[in-house]
Structure 1
Amino acid sequence: MKRAVYARPNKPMRISIKGRDGFGKLDPVQVVEPMIVDKFTECHVTPDDVASRMVAYLGPPGDFLTLEPSAGTGQLTKALLASGHSRFELTQVERHAKLASRLHQFGPVINRCFLEWAAEVAGRVEYPRIIMNPPFSEIRKHILAALQLLGRGGHDTPAVLVALVPVTYVHSDAETLENLPDDSFATAKVNTKIIRITKPN
C-alpha cells in the first residue's frame, strides 16, 4: 500500500458551518416531583371540579377567616385562592408532615392533628367559613370538632361549613347539596356527597 494513503493532505482540515439565527432561548426543563400519598393518611384527594363547587357553596369571597381542617394536598385551598379568597385569612391544618410542608406556599399551616388542635382552641377562635374533606373513618369526630369552631366572628352573615362526607353521614342541620358519582375517589370505595351546615348565631 502506498504511503501517500497515510499522509495528511497539504490543506487545513476544516468544515465550514453556516450560522443560523432566530432560535429563541430554550426554557429550562422543570421536573415536578410527584406527590405520593400514603393510603394510611386517609388523604382522599378532592377532584378539581368538586373542589371548585364546594368553594362556590361556601359563599362569595370576603374578609372571612376560613379554616381547612384536613388540608391534605391543598386541593380545597387552591380552589379557595382561585376564586378570590385571601390566603392571609386562611388557616390550614394537616398532621402529615410531608403534606404540610407543601402547603406553606398557599398560606399558614398548622402541622397538628386537627382533633387535638381544635380541642385546644375551641372557645378562643371562630371561623365564619369552614371547608373540609375529612378522614371518612372519623367523620363524626371531625365534623363535631369543626362545628365547635364555626361562628360568625363578628360578621352579619351566617357562618357556613361545607364538607365532603360519605352518603351514610347524617346531621340534623346538614343540607345535602349534591351526591357525587361512585368513581369520585379511586382509593376509597365510598359513595360520597357534599353537605352544608349554616350557623345563624
Structure 2
Amino acid sequence: MPKKPRRVTVKEGRGAPRLTPITAPEIVTVDAATECHTTPDDVARRMVDHLGPVGDFMTLEPSAGTGQLVRALLASGHSPCELCAIERHTKLATSLYQIEGITGAGIVNSCFLEWAETYKGRASFPRIIMNPPFRKVKAHMKAAISLLNRGGHDRPAVLVALVPSTYDHDDAEHLEDLPEDTFAAAKVRTKIIRIERE
C-alpha cells in the first residue's frame, strides 16, 4: 500500500546524558616582532630540572610568552607566590592568569628590558628561567644576569636559558643542544645553558 504513511514508535531516550558543547581554546595571535617562540613541554620540564631542587626561591621568568616555563615551574612544585613572570604583549600577559594554579603569582605586563632597568639594584632573584627573544638575546641575558643574586640563600643563584647556539657567555655552562626543529616558526639552532653565581 504505497499511499499509506508508515509510522514507527520511538521511545524517549531518558538515560542518555546531554552533550556538553565543545569550546575551542582562544587562539592568541601575536605580531612576529614579539618573537614569541613557545617552549615545548619536554624542553620546559628539562629546563626546570636544570634549575636545581625546589625550594624557597623567588623565581623570575623574564619573557613569559604563552606560559610554558611557568606551567613547568608550577608542575614541579614551585610556589606561584614566589614567581615573577614578565610579559610585554598585553594579550599574552592576560592569558597567563588562565594557567591553573597561577593565583598569587606576580604577573607583570611590561617590557623586560625596561623593567630590569627600573629594578636593577632594588630586586634580585636566586632563580631565573628564560627563553628570551633571539634577536635581542644579548640585551635580555645581560638584563637578567644583572638581577641574578643568591639573596641570602646558601645555594648559588642559578639562571637557565634557552638561547641561540651562537650566544656565548664566559660563565655559561653548556647543558644541551636542541634539535633544529624545536621551534616550528623559527629555524634557529638553539641550546640550553646555565649560569651560576655565588
What TM-score comes out, normalization by structure 2 length? 0.89
Q: Tell me how far 1:58 sits from its aligned partner.
A: 0.7
Report the equivalent of 2:87. Answer: 94
Q: Secondary structure at the match of 1:147?
A: helix
Q: CA deviation at 1:16?
A: 4.9
Secondary structure of 2:43 counterpart: helix
What is the DSSP-based 3-state SS (H/G/I as helix, E as strand, rest coil) of the residue aligned with 2:39? coil
Q: Distance in 2 between matches of 1:75 and 1:155?
A: 26
Shift of 1:190: 1.1
Give the match for residue 50 of structure 2.
57
Alignment match, 2:65? 72
For 1:194, the aligned partner's letter is I
* In 2, Cα distance between equivalents of 1:73 and 1:34: 11
In the aligned structure 2, how far is the partner of 1:96 from the partner of 1:19?
52
- What is the aligned length? 188
Please report how far the alpha carbon of residue 160 of structure 1 lies from its aligned counterpart in structure 2 after TM superposition: 0.2
Deviation at 1:109, TM superposition (A): 1.2
Deviation at 1:15, TM superposition (A): 7.4
Cα offset, 1:29, TM superposition? 2.2
2:110 alignment partner, one of 109, 112, 132: 112
For 2:42, what is the secondary structure of its paired residue? helix
> What RMSD in Å do the two structures reach over aligned CA positions?
1.6
Q: What is the alpha-carbon distance in structure 2 between the residues aligned to residue 19 and residue 168 of structure 1? A: 68
Distance in 2 separating the partners of 1:18 and 1:87 = 53
Name the structure 2 match of 1:11: none
- Residues 1:185 and 2:178 aligned together: no
Question: What is the match of residue 40 of structure 1?
Answer: 33
| Offset, 1:35 | 2.7
Could you tell which deviates more after superposition, 22-31 or 72-81? 22-31
Match of 1:195 in 2: 193
- In percent, how many aligned pairs have the same letter? 61
Deviation, structure 1 residue 138? 0.9
Question: 1:73-99: CA deviations, max 9, x gaps?
Answer: 101001111111111110010111111
Please identify runs of 4+ aligned residues in structure 1 that moved more than 6 A.
Answer: none
- Which sections of structure 1, spanning at least 5 residues, go unmatched? 6-13
2:135 alignment counterpart: 137
Task: In structure 1, give the amino acid aligned to 2:23.
Answer: Q
Segments of 5+ residues of structure 2 without an aligned counterpart are none
> Which one has the largest radius of gyration?
1
Inter-partner Cα distance in structure 1 for 2:164 and 2:13: 62
Give the counterpart of 1:166 among 164, 167, 181.
164
- Provide the C-alpha distance between the structure 2 equivalents of 1:94 and 1:20, rounded to a whole number of angstroms: 51
- SS in structure 2 at match of 1:144: helix
Aligned residue for 1:146? 144
**Partner Cα separation in structure 2 for residue 33 and residue 126 of structure 1:** 35
